[in-house]
Structure 1
Amino acid sequence: MSFAPEWLALREKADADARAEDLLVPLRESLVNRNPLLVRDIGCGTGSMGRWLSRRLDGGQHWVLHDRDPRLLAVAGATVTGPGVTVETREGDLTALRAEDLEGTSLLTASALLDLLTADEVDTLAAACVDAGCPALLTLSVAGRVELDPPEPLDAEFAEAFNDHQRREVDGRRLLGPDAVAATVESFERRGAVVWTRPSPWRLGPDQAALAGEWLRGWVDAACEQRPALAEEAPAYLRRRLAGGVRVVVGHVDLLALPRSA
């Protein structure tokens, strides 16, 4: 599954504003004796996580950027930069990482990824991190909660249909969608890791009108794809929402997992 560079660029500021920076306190403590850092960003897209996080970590850093889309990797490889930061890119299946692939890795990170994985893929990822003693910072996972202002009776129907769409089966893979954070916490904790979670919601209003409008259209389209009966209501619903200017809180969750060996 890949995303358009334009969409990733549109959401980058909202992502940066939403991420839970207090999780960086225990993360930095766990990395204090690791210098230089080897950081793997899986499903890196255009590199927004690298641009955000590299400026918030100390010391030298070598980033390995993983993605299936060579177009996105090219952008990420050219833009994740900074003093003491070096980068390499890896194209391929990011769900196939094992503990041996993470040997020497100081930190594994990802943004807006967990809800696109299956339960088995999340469990494989947790096993790889714990077995390798590698901390994991996994941000902006869909939480399944949306608050539109002002509320309408149809909001709940669209939200329920969208959440079901996030849990759909794609090419034989049953995606976790808003269940991803709970599944990830369970997988890490079952292996003895210490896990923190924090809310990281988008708060979109007039200052993010382009993103809010694009998000709303995509949210409604996905809901209608999952529940076609909503298509009759969708055009009028969108007109009302867009005419008033979209104000919405979109729930996400950030997660930090520290294997005890880390």
Structure 2
Amino acid sequence: MNVTGRPRFAPRWLELRERADAAARAPELLHPLLEWVAAQPPPVGPPGTPRDLVIRDLGCGTGSMGRWLAVRLPGPQHWVLYDLDPALLDHAGARMPVTAADGTPVDATTERGDLATLTADDLAGTSLVTASALLDLLTRDEVEALAEACVGAGCPALLALSVAGRVELTPSDPLDAEIADAFNDHQRRTDQGRGLLGPDAIAAAVTAFERRGATVLVRPSAWRLGSAESALTAEWLRGWVGAAHAQRPELAPEAVAYLRRRLEECAAGELTVAVHHTDLLALPGPSSRSAG
């Protein structure tokens, strides 16, 4: 697999955001997922031997999706954790849960690689593909290829925490909208020849999966950050404003002063932030379930 051309994330940032990610993910998507899995023909295997759910976690980072999801799914599970960074893979593999929701075993293996070249053949026998905070880092072609691979293999995809392009800061500041617009433009930038989707990723993914006959459900999954999450808020602010400044250098020195004000409010416990994301579940094949 190709292992170049994607951003790498510091473990500290991934650990800081894990609790907010867990609180934001949309648990209501688990019921239709479990219904779909239960409705499938039993897998071929030795008589009387239950087959593990095979779950492939793309861009797993430190493994937060596995830690959140494995304990919410019943039945024995085998997770395959993919990432570009071997240090993150070591971290993720070592911290996976060992039991599922019903006490059956969970195990995991790691694989260094990129989802860009995954095909339906690679996903043969897969029960579920997952990813968290990944879709917005992809190009339109990569989203199309991911949908093709998942639907072609007949496996559902649970793709969580894609940026929605909206943030709400309280109290408000006159520069909020300009910083947000610049950040969204940065998310849509061309990076090493790759035109990233940023906040357009969810719409692109819905179209890609539905075009291939999948039923797609989307639900909001916003971070709600208050004084208890001040460390995460401060780190997010630095990255958010930094990306906006990188996209529009003419924002300096206003962006520098803005960041200083916001960090002071954060340190004083006076700032709350809603960072909007969207979770998506794609179920192969026709269904009467509404995606609304």
Q: Give the TM-score normalised by the residue count of structure 2.
A: 0.88
Look up the match of 1:60.
76
Letter in structure 2 aligned against 1:248: V
Tell me by how many angstroms 1:7 deviates.
Answer: 0.3
1:122 to 143, 161, 167: 143
Look up the match of 1:158.
179
Alignment of structure 1 residues 1-262 onto 2, 5 Å: 1-32=7-38, 33=40, 35-83=51-99, 84-245=105-266, 246-260=271-285
Please tell me whether Structure 1 or Structure 2 has the larger radius of gyration of its CA atoms. Answer: 2
Look up the match of 2:47.
none
Between 234-243 and 105-114, the greater mean CA deviation after superposition: 234-243
For structure 1, the residue ranges without an aligned partner over 5 or more in a row are: none
Q: Per-residue displacement from partner, 1:71-94 (whole Å, max 9, x unpaired)?
A: 100001111122200111010122
Contact kept? 1:133, 1:261, Cα under 8 Å: no
Question: Following the alignment from structure 1 to structure 2, what is the Cα–Cα distance between the partners of residues 81 and 19?
Answer: 18
Q: Per-residue displacement from partner, 1:189-215 (whole Å, max 9, x unpaired)?
A: 001100000000001010100000100
Question: Following the alignment from structure 2 to structure 1, what is the Cα–Cα distance between the partners of residues 37 and 96?
Answer: 20
Contact kept? 2:158, 2:279, Cα under 8 Å: yes
Look up the SS of the partner of 1:87 in the other structure.
strand
Letter in structure 1 aligned against 2:274: V
Look up the SS of the partner of 2:171 in the other structure.
coil
Letter in structure 1 aligned against 2:75: G
Identical-residue share of aligned pairs (%): 65
Question: Following the alignment from structure 1 to structure 2, what is the Cα–Cα distance between the partners of residues 175 and 73?
Answer: 24
Look up the SS of the partner of 2:122 in the other structure.
helix
Contact kept? 2:218, 2:281, Cα under 8 Å: yes
Look up the SS of the partner of 2:280 in the other structure.
strand
Q: Per-residue displacement from partner, 1:117-146 (whole Å, max 9, x unpaired)?
A: 000000000000011101000000000001
Tell me by how many angstroms 1:235 deviates.
Answer: 2.1
For structure 2, the residue ranges without an aligned partner over 5 or more in a row are: 1-6, 43-50, 100-104, 288-292
Q: RMSD across aligned C-alpha pairs, in angstroms?
A: 1.2
Look up the SS of the partner of 1:99 in the other structure.
coil
Question: Following the alignment from structure 2 to structure 1, what is the Cα–Cα distance between the partners of residues 8 and 116?
Answer: 14
Tell me by how many angstroms 1:242 deviates.
Answer: 1.7
Contact kept? 2:71, 2:97, Cα under 8 Å: no
Look up the SS of the partner of 1:153 in the other structure.
coil
Question: Following the alignment from structure 1 to structure 2, what is the Cα–Cα distance between the partners of residues 201 and 133?
Answer: 29
Between 197-206 and 226-235, the greater mean CA deviation after superposition: 226-235
Contact kept? 1:38, 1:106, Cα under 8 Å: yes
Question: Following the alignment from structure 1 to structure 2, what is the Cα–Cα distance between the partners of residues 110 and 132?
Answer: 17
Number of corresponding residues:
262
Question: Following the alignment from structure 1 to structure 2, what is the Cα–Cα distance between the partners of residues 81 and 197?
Answer: 27
Tell me by how many angstroms 1:261 deviates.
Answer: 7.3
